[in-house]
Structure formats: C-alpha cells, structure tokens
Amino acid sequence: MKQSLEKRIKEYNDNIQRNLHLRRFQTGELQGPQTNIPIDNKPWLINYTEEQLSVPYIGKTVYELLKEVCISYPNDIAINFYDFEITNEEFLKGVEDAAKGLKFMGVKKGDTVSICLPNTPESAYLLYACNKLGAVADYIDPIEQEEGLRHYLDISNPQHLITLDVVLSKFKNIVDDKNIRNVVIASEIESIKEKMTKEALNSFPSTEMIMSSNKEFINNSKANFMTYRNFVEEGKKIPDFNHEPYELDQPAVIVHSGGTSGTPKGILLSNDNLNEFASQIMTSDLQYKRGKKLLSCMPEFVGYGLTLGLHAARIASMETVMISRYEPEKLPSLILKYQTNVITGSPAHFELFTESKELDDPNIDMSYLDSFIVGGDTIHPTIEQKGNDKLKIHNSKAKVKKGYGFSEQCCAVTMCFNDSVNTLGGCGIPMTKTDITIYDNQTGKDLPYNEVGEICATAPNLMLKYLNNQEETDNSIRIHADGKRWFHSGDLGYISSEGYLYPVGRIKDLIIKYNGQKIYATNVESILSHHPLVHAIALIGVQDPDHYNGQVPVACVVFKEGVNETEAIELLREYASNTLVPYTIPVEFYAIEKMPKTKVGKVNKKYLRSIFGTEKSKKFNMEYKNRHRK
C-alpha cells in the first residue's frame, strides 16, 4: 500500500529530530551510553550544522522547482554551450517549447519518452518538459550499438523517442518492433544553429541529409518522424497549459545501470528522489551555489551526470559549462578556458588533470577551483596525492572530493565534503539526509565500527524500483529491523569510529580460496599500486587449478611506459612477497596494455574475468602448473 504524504513527512521530520539529538551526543551537549554500532550513533553528524540537518521536505515536482528558480533569477546564465550562453529565462522557454511539442505528439501522464542524446540543451529541456506533463524521461546512451539500445527499450517500453540525428540508423530495426509512435530527430547543435557562422555550421552533420539517407527506413515505418525544429513549431499550436500536480513517489526519470549483479537494469527515480538529492548537495560544502560555475564532464544518460551534473546545478542556479562529447583529454584546456568553480568527473578525468603537461606551469592560478568532485571508482593513491599537490601548487584550497554511491540513490551516498573528512582511501561521510550501515547478511544485523560487511544505504533519494524487474528490486531493496527500505549495494566496506566510509571492493570481487581464506581485492591493489613501476593494477579471482572449489588471485597490470614487462613482473612479484600477507599474494601477474573501463570509468573486471574463460585460461593453467607444482 502506498504511503501517504502526511506519514512520509512525519517520518522525515522524526528523522531530523533524531539526527539533531544524536548530533548533540557527538558535540558533548548530551551525555549517555552509546553502542559500538555506527548506525546507532551516526558519528558523522558532528560534521554538519543543525541548520544543514534541518532542511524541510520539498514536496514538489522537478518542473515546479526548476520554474521557481528560473523565475526568481531570469538573467542568470544556465548553460554555456559551445560558448553560447543560455539564461534561466531562455532555459525555461526551451522547457516550455519542448513540453508543448510533447503534448502535440500526444504525450500524456504516465507515458515514457526515451531520450537518446548527448549532453545538449535539448536533453536538459526534455527532463523538465516530460515532467510538466507527468511523463517519464528515459535517458539512454547514444554510443550504444543496436543490441544495447534494444535492451534499453525492452526495459522502458517507450511510446516516443527523441534521438540524435547521427545515430538514427541504429533504430531502423527497433522502432516498429517496439511500436514507437513518434520519433523526433535532433542535432547536437540544435539550440545554437541560428547563432553559428556558416563555416562553423558546416563542421557538423546536417540533420536533413541524415534523414534523407534514412529515407527508406522513415517512409516504411509506422512511426511519425519529425525534426526537433518541426517538433517545436508544431508545439506552438498548443495553448498554454498547467503542469501535472505533485504526487508522492510519482515516477520522473529512468536511468540505466549494470546494477549489483552486472545485468543492465532500468532505475526508476521519482520527483522526490531527484529533489531530495539536489537538496543535500546544495546544503553541503560542495559549492553548489548561485553564482558558481560548473564544468559537467559526465553524460546525462548516467545517474551521476543527470542528478549532479544537470538537476542539482539547475536548482542551485549555477552556470553549467555543458560538454556534449566525452573527450576527457580536453579537460585541462576547458578548466583554463572557463575557470570553473566546480568540476564533476571520473577518476580518469582526475588522472588526466594530474598528469597534464599543460598544467605543469607553477604560475597557473586556480584559486577559483573550489571542488573537483570524482565518483564512479576508486582513485589510485599515488594519483590522489599527486593531484592534490597540483591543486595546492595552483592555489586551489581544496583536495579532490571523492564520493561513493550508485545510480540507485541518484549517484552519491557519501562525499568528502571538506578536507577534515577527506582521508586517503576513504570516501567521506554520508550526506545530510542519508544513513549508511555495514550489514552482516548471515546474521541480519548491523556490524560494529571497523568490521567489514556489505555497505547498505537509505535516504529519501533511494530509487522507487528497477523497472519491470521485481526480483532484482526485492534482492536489492530490503526492509531492515528499523522498518526502513535499505539498498544493498553489493559492495564491501567498513565505517571508522569517526564515521568515515572505506569501501574495500565488490562482494563478487571478494576472492575466497578453497580453504575459506578471504582476499579483498581493493586492499591488495592499494598496496601493489605503490610500486614505482605500476601504472594501474586489478586483482581478479580465477578458478583454483588444484581444487574443485575456491579461487586464486591473479593480478592484471598496466606498467609505466618504457618498462621491460618481464623484468617488471619479477620485481613486482618480489615486492608482493615482501609487503602482502602470504595467502593474498597473486599466483600470477599478467602485463596488459590498457586497463579496460566501463563507460562511467570503472575498471571492467567482468571483462578481465572473461579473458580466463578463453584461451588465456589454458595458458594460465600451464604457467600455474610450471610455477607452483614443481
């Protein structure tokens, strides 16, 4: 049975009062016994003010909240796109035009609109335009091939599709199969075509020419096709209309993720999820404030880019330097050109910043850079320290602000909001409205400080469900003894007595030997990554050749440029013998040219493990036999 708004607000306010009460224990204002269980005490609360912990429940739609901001600050710059500026007033008009276009197409409350675009003003408009109508915006990756796109649409079952012109042909075998009624085709530079010089315009593909080359597909399809420009023009025939009113847990958006099991899933997020996440970001020390400038490096079709890069920035009335193409190598130039106050990116972005020759000049001033936010995967400790040193040299007062989270909770659960909670290898503290616990799945109980178990989290920004996948929803969201919905992350970690979170790896990356000894991959990687010849390293478990059960650890290593790999492996093997607990030492080391990554910058261990299901496994067994069975 759905919860009433009154009950939700009461629970929300009760939680505020409990947090304020626990904070007073942390500050010494109250005295009394405390347990050894972090979630009972919440030691992280001491890092927040009472004002930060007392922000009221929002209870509005995403569209309503955006409109309030745009009307309050109409002349603020919302988007800087290819050096063309779009004000809040113009941004809101783009939203209203898109909403009318959607209504003209017949989009209604509860419909799903798939948006297959890179970061463009149109992709941003469409989130709020869909929301005005009560429709669900389904963000999908335009880089995917036909099979991947089909899988996305199998999950979301959209009635309407808005796609980038250059990927239109990928849908020719999908549109009619999925009974999509309308297809809108947009250019990457749709918003700024009329402002561009002819020379600049010619460097981008022509939407009309692309449609012409797909003429047979368009003419033979049952769907209605139109350009984005026609979509807006037709929408002008629709008179002004009111937005759909706020409802508790009303679906707003779908983002797609591998989830905890590696199988792609559709994450259904509500108005409350997006707004409550934005509220926590704005009340933190991340400098999401009006007048600040954001360089958003993450695509909106992942939760990180949509929530932290788009919605939180729009509600804070920041200026967003919008990057349509995923080109991390351009990051140093973009920082120097736009002098942004906040950057959101992946470990790959921070590594490029750290290693950039373009930023080696000590006279470069970056005092304007308040927050370099990094999420999606762990940062190599050497890179983290080197990057922090570079920030300091260039007069930035902040260290890299690492985060931990998942798209199921709008991307962030904990953050290194300031230097006092920013420890090497740690991921900071929970956000203001977020609780975390370390859970023992065998006993069903929360674990004490410094004990490793599954990281679980709960917050108002926890997803509604995995769309059309009740089994995985039930596996991932469970009701704990406190009666709350907790997300089981599939990650292992522990919480220190100060309340700092330290992830140690995925449960599926936990390597269990035949005799039950457990090896935490992240711990081994962290130690071996300090070797001066190592650029990157990943530890995976491989079937033990000597036993039916259990695995043995194997290290996949990217060595630094110019290194003799054969000699380096022997040196690293010796280093491992001298620094690691014996049973955790990799049985083999393999040099690889490049560390495989997922599209959000995580090390793709699934791919590395798959190598050992091929010919490489035979080679491994032979090498293992020669080395270990003498």
- Residue 441 Cα distances to 169, 510, 549, angstroms: 47, 15, 22
| 551 within 8 A of 542, measured Cβ to Cβ | yes
**Each residue of 243-259: b (16+ CB within 10 Å) or e?**
ebebebebbbbbbbbbb
Residue 375's pLDDT is what?
86
Instruction: State whether 514 and 500 are in the same domain.
Output: no
465, 482, 504 — which closes off a domain? 504
Same domain, 170 and 37: no
Q: What is the per-residue pLDDT across 84-104, written as a single tens digit (0 to 9) for each? A: 999 999 999 999 999 999 999
Over 60: is that where the pLDDT of 410 sits? yes
CATH (domain of 613): 3.30.300.30
Judgement on whether residues 532 and 478 belong to the same structural domain of the protein: no
Closest of 413, 407, 428, 492 to residue 454, by C-alpha: 492
Q: What's 108's domain CATH number?
A: 3.40.50.12780
pLDDT tens-digit series, residues 455-489 = 999 999 999 999 999 999 999 999 999 999 999 99
Residue 349 lies in a domain: yes
Which residue's entry shows tokens 């950039």? 356
Digit-coded pLDDT (tens) for 598-619? 766 678 888 888 876 555 555 6
**Is 67 a domain residue?**
no
Q: What average pLDDT does the structure give for the chain?
A: 91
In a domain? residue 140: yes
Based on the domain organization, do 559 and 618 belong to the same domain? yes
User: Token pair for residue 345?
Assistant: 């990116």
Q: pLDDT value at position 2?
A: 65
pLDDT exceeds cutoff 80 at 141: yes
How buried is 331 (Cβ within 10 angstroms: 0-12 exposed, 13-18 middle, 19+ buried)?
buried
Structure tokens at 481: 């003894």
| Same-domain pairing of 486 and 545 | no
Q: How far apart, in whole angstroms, are the C-alpha atoms of residue 353 and residue 349?
A: 6
Retrieve residue 364's tokens.
């470069």
pLDDT range class, residue 259, cuts 50, 70, 90: very low
Q: Where are the alpha helices (DSSP H) in 157-214?
A: 198-201, 207-213
pLDDT at 227 over 90: yes
- Is 523 inside any structural domain? yes
Distances (CA, A) of 324 to 58, 297, 356, 410: 31, 9, 22, 21
Please indicate whether residue 205 or residue 133 has the higher confidence score (pLDDT): 133
Tokens (6 digits) for 568? 């380096």
Q: Decide if 389 is inside a domain.
A: yes
Co-location of 30 and 49 in the same domain: yes
**How far, in Å, CA of 476 to CA of 487, rounded?**
6
pLDDT band at 1 (very low <50, low <70, confident <90, very high): very low
Q: CA–CA separation, 488 vs 476, rounded Å?
A: 5
Indicate whether 251 belongs to any domain. Answer: no
Q: Is residue 33 part of a domain?
A: yes
Per-residue confidence band for 622, with pLDDT thresholds at 50, 70 and 90: low
Average pLDDT over residues 521-540: 89
487 lies in the same domain as 520: no
Most confident of 119-128, 354-363, 397-406: 119-128
Q: What mean pLDDT is predicted for residues 534-542?
A: 91
What is the residue range of 173's domain? 82-245
pLDDT confidence tier of residue 261, bands split at 50, 70 and 90: very low
**Is the model's pLDDT at 9 over the cut of 50?**
yes
Q: Are 478 and 551 in a shared domain? A: no
Domain boundary among 245, 280, 296: 245
One domain, residues 151 and 188: yes
Higher pLDDT, 40 or 33: 40
Share of the chain above pLDDT 70, in %: 95
Q: How many domains is the chain partitioned into structurally?
A: 3
pLDDT computed for residue 167 by the predictor: 96
Q: Are 334 and 321 in contact (CB under 8 A)?
A: yes
Q: Are residues 524 and 562 in the same domain?
A: yes
Instruction: Clarify whether residues 464 and 347 are in a common domain.
Output: yes
Q: Same structural domain for residues 518 and 619?
A: yes
Q: Closest Cα partner for 418 from 575, 228, 286?
A: 286
The pLDDT tens digits of the residues spanning 63-86 come to: 999 999 999 999 999 999 999 999
Give the predicted TM-score (pTM) of the model: 0.85
| Cα-trace Rg, the chain | 25
Confidence category of residue 144, pLDDT binned at 50, 70, 90: confident
Between the CA of residue 134 and those of 80, 239, 257, 341, what are the distances in Å?
28, 17, 23, 34
Per-residue pLDDT band for 260 (boundaries 50, 70, 90) equals very low
More confident residue, 493 or 546: 493
Query: 628 or 48: which carries more pLDDT confidence?
Result: 48
Q: Quick check: is 201 in a domain?
A: yes
CB 410 within 8 A of CB 252: no
Of 504, 532, 548, the one marking the end of a domain is: 504
Find the range with the poorest average confidence among 115-124, 589-598, 600-609: 600-609
